Amino acid sequence: MKILSVNAGSSSLKFQLYEMPEEKVLISGLMERIGVGNSFYTIKVDGQKIKKEVELNNHEQAFEVLVKELEENNVVKSLDEIKGIGHRVVQGGDYFDKTVVIDDEVLSKIEELSSLAPLHNPAAATGIKAAMEVFPNAVQTAVFDTAFHQTMPKENYLYALPYEWYENYKVRRYGAHGTSHKFVSERMNEILGRTNTKLITCHIGNGASVSAVVNGKCLNTSMGLTPNAGLIMGTRCGDIDASIIPYVMEKTNMTPKEMDNAINKQSGLLALSRKSSDSRDIEEGIAQGDENCILAQKMYVRRIVDYIAKYYVEMEGCDAIVFTAGIGEKAIDTRRDIINELGVLGVTLDEEANNVKSEERLISAKDSKIECWIIPTDEELMIARDTLALI
């Protein structure tokens, strides 16, 4: 059975087609600059990567180009071979605790929750509508980034704010990256050979979050109402004293929109390093002795270590710490710095094992009290698995 995993951004469309349940990738690709001019896309099929320039005015045109590529590359003979399309949706609020088949009511809820994810949910809704037009016979599913975190107890998802804010405006912790945390925690349980586990999963990329996972269910996570909570990220500030916001707004006459832009797009590693939001540039700056980059890395690592320590105490122990996503999988020095800070928990690093990128591997030493692993995430595969299960 062929299942298509889709991740629609405001001006992009990422896709991967699987033969299920074999989990074989038939074709994958990314369409960029949709609706903004000079659009192009890259596809990978039969081990070959191809880039093409084509004007894409909207997501429906992007799906039509996708169909053309499927047919021209003999991936499908008929669109009816694609039985399901799974869509990544960032915000499911407290309505959805699992993947669901999309109907009018589900689509309406996704659009209703756009105020909590203004950059992501409208794009997902647009992608869903376009897919329904182009693939009318396929089962369409919504896979929510927030769903995995819906098992958090109330004491972990509520804020100490007026309760009517929660009742009237749904102000609470939702988390994000749930599909990734679910994928790597399930894989970690497979490796350990049991499900009664205590795991700390570190999804560290340009956006980043840490989760505490007990017996396969999320106990706590670092992101909050929005993705701008918890860790220091590429351009997001993460946890700050909330009173900083009205204080600086009064001093500078910034509007709410300008402040939102500052804490989401002008902060984090970019602000600290005064150089770049990209961890590779930070590492390069550290090698050159750049003091701002050195400070940025210290603060970045410290925040991750803080959350690992917090969740270790909350779970009363830990069986494994998992590193995943772009930085978690590829940044050798960052993993080393984090693990070296965890010595008080009896965690020790195997330097040789850690000298690897994007490869599933145990990187803690034999005498480490907690196993540390690199597990490359695969959110598209998780989407395909969930969609197959519903079909």
Catalytic residue among 145, 337, 378, 386: 145
Strand pairing report for 217-221 and 208-214: antiparallel
Write out the DSSP string of 355-382: S-SS--EE-B-TT-SSEEEE----HHHH
Instruction: Report the first-to-last Cα separation within the chain, whole angstroms.
Output: 10
Catalytic residue check, 319: no
379 contacts 179 by C-beta, under 8 angstroms: yes
Measured from the Cβ of residue 27, the count of other Cβ atoms closer than 10 Å reads 19
Element (H, E) at 82: strand 82-89
CA angle 241–233–178, rounded 5-degree value: 100
Handedness of CA 254, 255, 261, 264 (dihedral sign): positive
Element (H, E) at 157: helix 154-157
Known catalytic residues? 145
